[in-house]
Amino acid sequence: MGAAFLWAGTLRGMKTLTPENRAKFDQVFMQVVMSVQAEAQQSQPQQAGALAAMFHKEQLSEALQGCAMLIAGWNAGGVDETGIARAAKALRGLGRADLASRVEGLVRIDEE
């Protein structure tokens, strides 16, 4: 039952793409998501101390989960706007507004 609930929640914030556009932009989409994941994983806590390290770990986990939602949505044929919001919020929390902007741009991947 839990998986069905998560799936239904993902569909609400999904921008559907045509199969042609999904195929056309597949490499770009995956390249952005994978590079954002890699750069986020290389980030360090913005301050010293155990609390900052704990906050960093939590935000990193949120960013990676948002990216996983994006990949799952892409595999389902669209761009998961809930995943974008989750990843972008966490990336900003990590002090990586540049990466958050890249993720947010994915919703317009098929707009020329």
Residue 92 has pLDDT above 70, yes or no: yes
pLDDT digits 0-9 by tens, 2-51: 443 334 334 568 899 999 999 999 999 999 999 999 999 999 998 999 99
Cβ proximity of 83 and 70 under 8 Å: yes
For the chain, give every domain's residue range. Answer: 2-108
pLDDT digits 0-9 by tens, 9-22: 345 688 999 999 99
Q: How many CA atoms lie within 13 A of 103 on its CB side?
A: 34
